[in-house]
Every structure is written in structure tokens, then in C-alpha cells.
Structure 1
């Protein structure tokens, strides 16, 4: 069983290092979930310096994710993200733990609001160009866009096919490996995906690969639960 665990771990790391969302808002959401987790950790600290440490980590991710937030184009989320950044920065300057926590709590609520806005963004009204403008779009440009979209869809299909093996592997780990070991394994993969998605210059393929791997691994973690009843 230990050998199976090691083999699957090696296969997963190989996959994660070689390839990897379709939508800019999915990337933005992934980054903001990371910011949310660091802010929650800051709130749990009983030491002001430790609270500041996690707040700084959250701030750094927001600052390095500006392009992704802009690409998403969700104005409501952008406002909440900017407000959360202001609150986080203020939290790092507070001189009391209580004051820090109050500002962190404000930031956390703004982050949650940003995530809600990103989730709803797909349902926002889409502004279409007028008929006259649409009729003036060059046929050559249209053909190029269609070709690019087909290439992107083919890339995603190839990645999804390659991830079918990983999905089977992670499910085999869940079914046959000690729950605590399986959870540690899955957490490693999930965290690695999060870290990869924070990088600003990932190729489209690597972004999609890491996002999809993260989603598959999240389902495995849900199956494992807290392992309390499986030991």
C-alpha cells in the first residue's frame, strides 16, 4: 500500500509539473480563495506579529493578481477586492491585536463579497455591440477568432483526457490508502495547484491544467472528510 501511495504521488507530481482556466474569473476566484484562507489564518492568531504575517501574505497575492482581476472584468468584485486590500493594509498598521482583528474581519467580509460577485459574474448582463458595428467586423478577424477558439478547445480537451488518469489515481488513493495519508497526499497536490495558479505568467494550458487538477483533488478531499470516522 505504501508503494501504491508513492507511485501515485510521483505520477501526480509529474503531471502537475508538466501541464495545466478557461475563464479569467475562475483564476481570480482561485486567487481570492487563497487570500481568504490567509486572512482567516490571521484572524486565528493570538499574536499581533503573526496576524500581520498572514495579512501580508494576503496583501501580496492581491497585488500580484491585478491582471487576472482586470481580465475577469467584474466591477463589483474589483471594488470589494480594492476595499479588502485597504482593510488588510490597515490591519498591518494597527498597534493592538483587537484593532487588527476588527480590520481583518472587515477585510474577510469584503473578500467573501468579492467571491460572491465573481460567482455571479457569469449571470451579469452582457453588453453586445450594435447591429451596425457587428456588421462592420472584418471576416478575417472573425475567422481568426474562431480558429483560436477551436485551438483552445482542443488544448482543453487534451488536458481533460490526460487528467482522466489522475482522477482514477486519486480515487484509488482515497479507496485504498490510510485516510490520513491519503488526505495529506491530496492536500499536497491541492496546495501545489493553488501556488501554481498564483503565478502571473502561466501559459493558458498550465493554468487550465492546475485549475482542473485542483477541482478533481477538491472532490477527493470531500470524499475523505476529516478522517475521524475512518481511523
Structure 2
């Protein structure tokens, strides 16, 4: 299983290309915020104040790394909510009493969730605008020839990555369908965490960002099949 995953990582390791627009930036920011949410939830489950702070610092770092992505994405509402979340996360790291830290973490988690919801709504509106624009462009292809040529030069690369991930999709689905539930869950969650960690790296090419984002989505979908048992 690990060999299959490693091979797929290497397949697209060399791929790089220019930004494909605001929607991609929103998706990458969303992945980082999801990681911050996960770390905050982990901190809430822990009874050791030092470990709590460890996960909180990871959450803070993840959110701070979304600043540029959110600016490119243009979602000001999410930025405001996340700023509140970071403020309370930082306050939590200064607490020595566990219950005080967790009170702040609950408030932070609420802000992070609001940020995610705001980002999802923003992504939806961007997608709607893109669909409208695409219809307009199709009615006047001559005036938009340069845009069409750019689209054609970018799309095959995304298609190439999607095609390479089909093998992984089949592999991870086989894992969740045939392997012991807890082992399969642990394997899938480990991949999700690896993808989230990779997406926090600032110097990733657009190809790698797209790859890790899609790998995470495929794994999350596979993990849904284990919903009834992976939490036990």
C-alpha cells in the first residue's frame, strides 16, 4: 500500500505550472484551514497542557500560512474569522490551567469553522461566476482566442494528474474494502495528514498543490466508507 502511494507521489513530483486562478487558491487555503481545525480538535482531546500547546502552535502556523492564499482568493470574511481564531489560539498558549486553555480553544474552533464556511460560500460564488463567464466566452470564441489557448495549455496537466491518481483511487478503495477497518482507517488518516502537512509548505509548485489536494479528497471520500467503524 505504501509503495503504491510513494510511486504516485513521485509521478507528479516534477510537475509545475502557473496559478490556475482564485478558485485554486481558495481550495489550497481551505486545505490549510482544515489542518488547523484538526490540530485544534486534537488539542481539545488532550489532558497534557504541553501537548495541547504543541498542537495549538501547529494550528496557528497553518492559519498564518493561509494569509497570502486568502488574499489571492479574495475571501475577506474568512480572513476576519480566522484572525479571531488565531488571536484566541495565541491566548490559549499563554495559559497554564488546562480548562482556561480549552475554553479559548472552543472559541477558536468556532471562529475557524466560521472561516471554513465563509470560504466555502466564497468558492461557490467564484465557481458560479466562472460558469457564467465560460458561457459568455463560448458565444464569442474569436474575441477570447488567447484565453482559450491558455485554457488548453493548462487543462492537460490537470488531466494528467487526475489520470495518475486513478490508480491511487482504486488502491485506496481496495484498502478500505478489504483490510481490517481500524488498520484501513489509520492508513487513510495518515495519508490525509501527510497531504495536509505537504500543503503547508510555501514553495510547492501548483502541480504539487493540486496533487496533494486531490489525493486528500480521494482519501477522505474513501474514509467515508468506514464511517461506521473508524471512530470506534
Q: Shorter-chain TM-score: what band?
A: 0.7 to 0.9
Secondary structure, counterpart of 2:204 in structure 1: coil
Unaligned runs of 5+ in 2: 14-19, 130-143
Number of aligned pairs? 211
Could you tell me whether the CA contact under 8 Å between 1:36 and 1:112 is conserved in 2? yes
Alignment of 1:101-180 (within 5 A): 101-124=102-125, 144-180=146-182
CA contact (8 A) 1:77 1:117 kept: yes
Measured at CA, do residues 17 and 67 of structure 1 come closer, stay the same or move farther in structure 2, by a change above 3 Å? farther
Moved more, 96-105 or 118-127: 118-127
Note the residue ranges of structure 1 that are not aligned, 5 or more in a row. Answer: 1-7, 128-141
CA apart distance, 1:143: 5.3
Q: TM-score, normalised by structure 2?
A: 0.81
How high is the TM-score relative to the length of structure 1? 0.81
Flag the 1:156–1:63 CA change in 2: closer, same or farther, 3 A: same
Looking at structure 1, the residues matched to 148 and 176 of structure 2 have their Cα atoms a distance apart, in angstroms, of 41
1:183–1:224 contact (8 Å) kept in structure 2: yes
Give the corresponding residue for 2:7. Answer: 14
Residues 113 and 106 (structure 1 numbering): CA distance in 2 closer, same or farther, change over 3 Å? same
Bigger radius of gyration:
1
Residues 187/43 of structure 1: CA separation in 2 closer, same or farther (3 Å cut): closer
Residue 145 of structure 1: CA displacement? 4.4
| Residues 149 and 201 of structure 1: CA distance in aligned 2, closer, same or farther (over 3 Å) | farther
Q: CA RMSD in A?
A: 2.7
Asked if the contact 1:65–1:200 (Cα under 8 Å) also holds between the matched residues in 2, the reply is no
Deviation at 1:72, TM superposition (A): 1.5
Query: How big is each residue's C-alpha offset from its partner over 1:118-167, in whole Å with a ceiling of 9 and x where there is no partner?
Result: 1100344899xxxxxxxxxxxxxx65544333222111111111111111
Q: CA deviation at 1:229?
A: 11
- Distance change (3 Å), C-alpha of 1:188 and 1:40: closer
